[in-house]
Structure 1
Amino acid sequence: MIFMFITAVVLAEICSALPLSGSIYIWAAESAGPKYARFVGFIVAWWACTAWMTFTASNCQATANYIVSQMAVWNVNFPGGVGNDNIQWRALIWGISELMLLLSVAMNYLPPRLYSFIFKFSVGLMMLDFFLCLIWLPIGVSKTYGFRSAKDVFTMTYNGTGAPPAWNWILSFLFTAGTLTGFDASGHIAEETMNASVVAAKGILSSAIATGVLGFATTILFLFCTPDLDTVFSLNAPQPFVQIYALALGKKASIFMTIIAVLGLIMNSTVAIVASSRLVFAVARDGVLPLSRWVGCVDSKGQPRNAVTVIYIFAALLLCTILPSQVAFTSLVSAGAVPTIAAYGLIPLLRLTMTPNHFQSSHFRLGKYAKPFYVCAALFNALIFAVDISPFYFPVTANTFNFAIVIFIAITIFAVLSWYFIPEEKWLRREQVLRAMDASEGQEEH
């Protein structure tokens, strides 16, 4: 939580000075200084677009997993059996995932005035889910299989990875890393936000703090409420928590909790598409993507509808990889967090080494804490990056190899090739960089 907050503060500082759509790649480019801005901008633009668009697909599959897990609760027989080795099962997951994607994308075509309602409804659902888990779940556990002891919760470890004990413990970050990313989203819609230099930056901080505090409470709660390991490992649903709800609250109650989770995930995907479409729009507007002129257009209400369509097509095609191989899809989406974490670490590193005294116009200046915060954020995100590209099981075989690093390297190579072959007058010209930096510095003088 502490290092997550530090990273958010570092991003908020530069967001306040540069509240632009496309945010994170612009922040990285400006942090690198005029000489290397264009090169860094290309790389982080590719990283960010890949991360946000793959997140949409993975979130839709996560939603499908909640739905089909009810089949395990009610012992529904599925032709060929429940499991990723069954093509019929993978086809079911794929079909539901595509439907969830379609629902989330459709809401992004609604009039902009409804977005506020969507955001508030999404937050309301998440808080309802949180409080039900905080109140109802412990009551149910106390009346059924009982709580785990404090000794189990705070001292027990289990090595199911085959990694050395220390690295096995570090690998726990693999599953929390998903909540350590995404708080840059408010920066992506900065150009549609009033008083963005304050509000967008504050959004980064508040979302990180809310996620950290509530996520910590939820983690401790779930550790106390999780059944013994033998029971946990016997659960065969794609989303085992649906079965845990059934064990603690009853089968019918698990349906209600599943509905809340599914609605929350649909809204989560919808909000993610809002943020990612603004990122894709900004990159296209600046000329780096194929069909940039079309993708970078907005409708009569100023909404990047074409960018939303691009994200839908990309995510829909990505979900199709579920059909031939669940491993292929998992490898693709597991790489989604890697580029974001890399960008989170690169920006403070560049601020520390290349532009330590720039962006003084920020409303969230770090002052004397700047350099220590840059060091902490860079090192922490380097650790999370290492976890995300690490093998998850040892010894490593072809079946257990983590392809996230291969995908990340491929994305970076495409970025470098784009930087090399796309003429400077097409995207992120040097004078653009200098003008942006001058503007951010000039705000303070004004």
Structure 2
Amino acid sequence: MNFIGGVRSYYFLGLLAGGPAAVWSSYFITMVCMFITALVLAEICSALPLSGSIYIWAAESAGPKYARFFGFLVAWWSITSWMTFSAGNCQTTANYIVSLFAVYDINFPGGTGQDNVKWRALIWAMSEGLLVLSIAVNYLPPRFYSAVFKFSIAILILDFLLCLIWLPIAAHNTYGFRSLKDVFTMTYNGNGAPAGWNWILSFLFSAGTVNGFDASGHIAEETKHANVTAGRAIISSVIATGVLGLATAILFLFCTPDLDTVFALDAPQPFVQIYALALGKGPSIFMTVIAVIGLIMNTSVCIVASSRLIYAVARDGVLPLSWWIGKINKDGQPQNAVTVMFIFGAILLCSILPSEVAFTSLVSAGSVPTIASYGIIALLRLTMTPHTFKSSHFYLGKFARPIYFISVVWNALVVAAMISPFYFPVNAQSFNFACVIFGTVTIFAVLSWWFTPPEKWLRQEQIELALHSAEARPDTATRIFVTEVASKKES
């Protein structure tokens, strides 16, 4: 999970929605509440370590009677979320590159504001190119994946260390640090929202960074000792992202110029200009290149996880063209699912052309279905199956109900914030189309559930067998489920 890239990319959304006090406080709250949510997911992941696992977790959490409905719902939500996130990450990366125009005072026809359609067309074209590059990594033979993952981690560590050491020294020698009072108590309303809701909207920054930790579950069938390893990865990724992300956010608050200077910056990614103010123009290019490489690798790794989710859902016959999407190549890789991600992402990026707020909309649309899935699983565990999966390596025991309840309330609040307009008053240009994407996908999910025969996907006996097997041994449940799917394909 790219904590440094996430904090830096969405940092200014937090400053607009509540100011410095909201940035650190909302991140701390998010860190604690997402850790609680991770415990919910780790518990059921340990019992059901399956590829495309999150929709299976939802189905089994609902119990046999309602399993198919919630399985369809979360399957469609998760696919949309991961594909949208990949597209949004490409626009984030493009914003870094084009921000160098502002650093070097390069004049662009019509200006570099989001109200200039030519400027948006440039960002769109670069975003599409970056999507092609990120997708291309996923066509590599699987033996290269380990090197890709290790290189990604190395870039993130280098990025973090440079920000931890070089940026504070440079900021101290140029415009100076912000005071403790400014960092921990200053508030700001830059989006016109009502005062209380203005602060709540800062969760778009923090929750947009600390989510996606279900990814390790999507490759569980390719993971050794998945009933322990996958669940542990869910928890450790939240702890690492939360702690290091909070430290990064506070570091940036001290190293950012005063708010008047910050909001006078006119680049799509103002951090590029802050690097130039602190480090100088030349070094700012180096830091921007590091950030861009990190985001490209982050997108590629996310596609690895999300393509497995799409493959698993198609393997079970839910999606249109499932017979093609659910195929694997000679190396056992779901390359057709990767191709579907490219097509969907390329289409979604076209929203940059007509919309001035496509960035915040894509951030929201990429997070809302995932966070809604976390919340619905916790709700189902609280109300439908609170006493199951006792064989889980991460069984919550007597703490289960309070943990489920906190997770439900927290994720519901975040979903409400993310589908809300970010800028007020609301008009056609500032409308947040995340709610439209989320609503449309939900309708497709319900229609799929209604028209797909029960014997075609998640048969009743299959649901009950996996549920009973998970109570005994999680690895047995995995084998049974995969064998059931394979035998269905053969027949």
TM-score (norm 2): 0.88
Residue of 334, 341, 346 corresponding to 1:316: 346
C-alpha distance in 1 between matches for 2:259 and 2:134: 36
Cα displacement (A) at 1:184: 0.5
- Give the aligned partner of residue 338 of structure 1: 368
Find the residue that maps to 1:48 and give its secondary structure. helix
> Contact 2:52–2:309 at 8 Å: present in 1 too?
yes
Matched residue SS, 1:423: coil
> 1:390 corresponds to which residue?
420
RMSD of the TM alignment (CA)?
1.5
Q: Which residue of 1 aligns with 2:216?
A: 186
1:77 aligns with 2:107: yes
Q: Which amino acid aligns with 2:285?
A: I
Residues 88 and 400 of structure 1, relative CA distance in 2, 3 Å threshold:
closer
Give the CA deviation at 1:444: 7.2
Q: Deviations over 1:135-193 (max 9, x none)?
A: 11000000000011000000110112333322222211111111121000000011111
Whole-angstrom distance in 1 between the partners of 2:209 and 2:301: 15
Q: Deviation per CA, 1:316-351: give whole Å up to 9, x if none.
A: 121123234344575355322111111111111110
Partner of 1:44: 74
Cα shift at 1:36: 0.3
2:92 and 2:359 in contact (8 A); partners too: no
Distance 2:285 2:330 in 1: 42
Q: Is the 8 A contact 1:6 1:377 kept in 2?
A: yes
- Contact kept, 8 Å, 2:355 with 2:429, in 1: the verdict is no
1:16 correspondence with 2:46: yes
Q: Residue 407 of structure 2 is aligned with which of 377, 391, 394?
A: 377
Which residue identity does 1:289 align to in structure 2? L
Question: Aligned equivalents of 2:234 and 2:473: distance in 1?
Answer: 21
State the Cα deviation string for residues 387-430 of structure 1 (Å, max 9, x = none): 11222233333333333223212211111011001111221111
Listed one character per residue, the Cα deviations across residues 186-236 of structure 1 (whole Å, up to 9, x for unaligned) are: 000111111111111111111111000000000100111111111111100
Alignment gaps of 5+ in structure 1: none
- The 5-angstrom pairing of residues 171-320 of structure 1 reads 171-320=201-350
Which position in structure 2 is the counterpart of 1:368? Answer: 398
Classify 1:388/1:147 alpha carbon distance in 2 versus 1 (closer, same or farther; 3 Å).
same
Q: Which residue identity lines up with residue 447 of structure 2 in the other structure?
A: L
Query: What letter corresponds to residue 53 of structure 2 in structure 1?
Result: S
2:72–2:445 contact (8 Å) kept in structure 1: yes
SS state at 2:317 partner:
coil
Match of 1:161 in 2: 191
Counterparts in 2 of 1:329 and 1:166: CA distance versus 1, 3 Å:
closer
More divergent stretch after superposition (270-279 vs 335-344): 335-344
User: How is 1:346-361 mapped onto 2 (pairs within 5 angstroms)?
Assistant: 346-361=376-391
Displacement of 1:27 in angstroms is 0.5
With 406-415 and 159-168 compared, the bigger mean Cα shift is at 159-168
Q: CA deviation at 1:130?
A: 0.8
Q: Deviations over 1:60-105 (max 9, x none)?
A: 1111111111111011111222122323222221221111111111
Say whether the 8 Å CA contact 1:332–1:407 is kept in structure 2.
Answer: no
Count of paired positions: 446
Tell me the distance in 1 between the aligned counterparts of 2:359 and 2:177: 36
Other-structure match for 2:486: none
Is the counterpart of residue 425 in structure 1 residue 440 in structure 2?
Answer: no
Report if the CA contact (8 A) 1:108-1:308 is conserved: yes
Aligned position for 1:7: 37
User: In the alignment, is the contact (CA less than 8 A) between 1:23 and 1:188 conserved in 2?
Assistant: yes
How far apart, in 1, do the equivalents of 2:140 and 2:264 lie?
43
d(CA) in 2 for partners of 1:90, 1:11? 39
> Which residue of 1 is the match for residue 465 of structure 2?
435
Deviations 1:18-41 (A, max 9, x none): 000111111011100000000000
Q: Which runs of 5+ in 2 are unaligned?
A: 1-30, 477-491
1:27 aligned residue (42, 57, 69): 57
The answer as to whether partners of 2:48 and 2:474 remain within 8 angstroms in 1 is no
For 1:445 and 1:396, how far apart are their aligned partners in 2? 51
Determine the C-alpha separation between the residues in 1 that align with 2:116 and 2:226. Answer: 49
What amino acid maps onto 2:97 in structure 1?
A: I
